[in-house]
Structure 1
């Protein structure tokens, strides 16, 4: 396999592992706080790595720098916070299946803004992925109105998060060529942190006060930041650097299978027929997108 494809699959596995950890952390930390601390830890890791490797900074003009920072605001400050909120409401396996909307969103945005085109088989893949998400987003017949409302909120938050993630990577794709991946990830993380600080200011909350009185499992948080952000995002950006955007997006979707299996093993989330049908539909859609 080519380097880009290998990096994309590795990113999917790393992100799936982190989602399970973030589900645990979300039991005690609100989404914005979890996202802020996670990004601070990742920024420290990236700065240390840049210093150790002596990587030269990217050659970006003012527009490229602005786009890179904006990509971080959309993809890390906004999208990650929304995803953590969805994770708290839906559980890891449902949130993972909704994540399969990522490749259709990337393909659609690539058609609109990068000049790529969609074939009939890709449209079929989009429909199958959407059908899989609809299957897992429907509550069971005996669910209470509160459960249904929580499920609808989680699905809406999850879809919004995945759309922003897709928009962020399509936005930055034209600037990836010839640039050091490590620095691009560092600048995106910085943009994400700036965006989060703006969100805290808008909510008139002090970031450090949200941690007071809460039980923070720092070893687990450090592991999630390293695996789910540092490693996963480096491989994610690398996948888009060395492979076409549509191919990288499709291979990223294998994370849903990893998430469902890991959630069943470690979080004891049930593997019901509805989830399995949702996984089957979304994977069939991903296969159509890959074969198109």
Structure 2
């Protein structure tokens, strides 16, 4: 199974890329936090239904429940919240570049905690992949396509700190679940625990009366359908594939390969929205493809 997890991680990235195209309208309608809360609600129902019907819930014990719950709080709740705050300060592009450093954090933590080493062509592949993703994100827009958020809102340093915090939370959460996933725990049930914990935390924000947690507009059935489909692809299938990949693969390599979703979005935008990527995006995509090939070829 040493080879297959590469494709599990890449499949997760593909799920996130497709799901990201489904999220824009719903996120604008509900607001970022309300969108995340509804998404967590939907995916929690889906995953627990599968876990109960398949009997996978029986693989959970107190220790695995605790680890998955804490991982969900750190990676999904705190990490996503920090990323949204960074986007508000810096804009989506610069926040995306900072979040892409989670692959580097994961590789470093994998080395420090599990002794995972990366050398030779694989190291070159990792550098090309991360650099390519960052290039595609930062230079991927044409002039005149500037997002409404792409402006400085005060000092950039708090936004930089929040972006790096979101990346670090993602890496730490991934690192935490690696030892547990190497056992017999059902990945769907494990993912259900992580998602439902994050949902309860999001719900607590709403109950506390925080303005940012309140929806911009009431949800309707078309928006709910988009949220549910996004939840199924991104959080249900995508995150479960990541947990399954961690059962067989190294933390750093799983993080590296699953970070290519911003590059996979580019041809989808061109195909569906007729938006041809800018030159910088092509350069970043080329570097990412070469880096991915070098990583996959290491076996």
The question of a shared fold, defined as TM-score above 0.5 by the shorter chain, is answered with yes
TM-score if structure 2 supplies the norm length?
0.78
User: Could you say which residue in structure 1 is the equivalent of 2:34?
Assistant: 33
Q: Give RMSD over aligned pairs.
A: 3.7
1:97–1:284 Cα change, 3 Å: farther
1:262–1:45 Cα change, 3 Å: same
Which residue, 166, 172, 175 being the options, matches 1:167?
Answer: 172
Q: Runs of 5+ in structure 1 lacking a partner?
A: none
Q: State the shift of 1:288 in Å.
A: 4.9
Deviations along 1:50-104, one digit per CA (max 9) or x if unpaired, are 2221224234344x4322111101222133345566778437xx87776654432
Q: State the shift of 1:224 in Å.
A: 0.8
1:156–1:263 Cα change, 3 Å: farther
Number of aligned residue pairs: 287
User: Could you say which residue in structure 2 is the equivalent of 1:149?
Assistant: 152
What pairs up with 1:67-216 in 2 under 5 angstroms?
67-83=67-83, 89-90=91-92, 100-119=100-119, 121=121, 124-125=124-125, 127-129=127-129, 131-132=131-132, 133=134, 136-137=137-138, 147-149=150-152, 159-177=164-182, 178-200=184-206, 204-205=210-211, 209-210=214-215, 212-213=217-218
- Shifted more, 239-248 versus 13-22: the winner is 239-248
Q: State the shift of 1:20 in Å.
A: 1.1
Deviations along 1:148-173, one digit per CA (max 9) or x if unpaired, are 527x7988765543432222111111
Q: Runs of 5+ in structure 2 lacking a partner?
A: none
TM-score if structure 1 supplies the norm length?
0.79
Deviations along 1:24-62, one digit per CA (max 9) or x if unpaired, are 322222211111100000011112112221224234344
CA distance in 2, matches of 1:5, 1:204: 40
1:286–1:226 Cα change, 3 Å: same
1:134–1:210 Cα change, 3 Å: same
User: Could you say which residue in structure 2 is the equivalent of 1:232?
Assistant: 238
User: Could you say which residue in structure 2 is the equivalent of 1:57?
Assistant: 58
User: Could you say which residue in structure 2 is the equivalent of 1:276?
Assistant: 282
- Shifted more, 132-141 versus 225-234: the winner is 132-141
SS at match of 2:286: helix
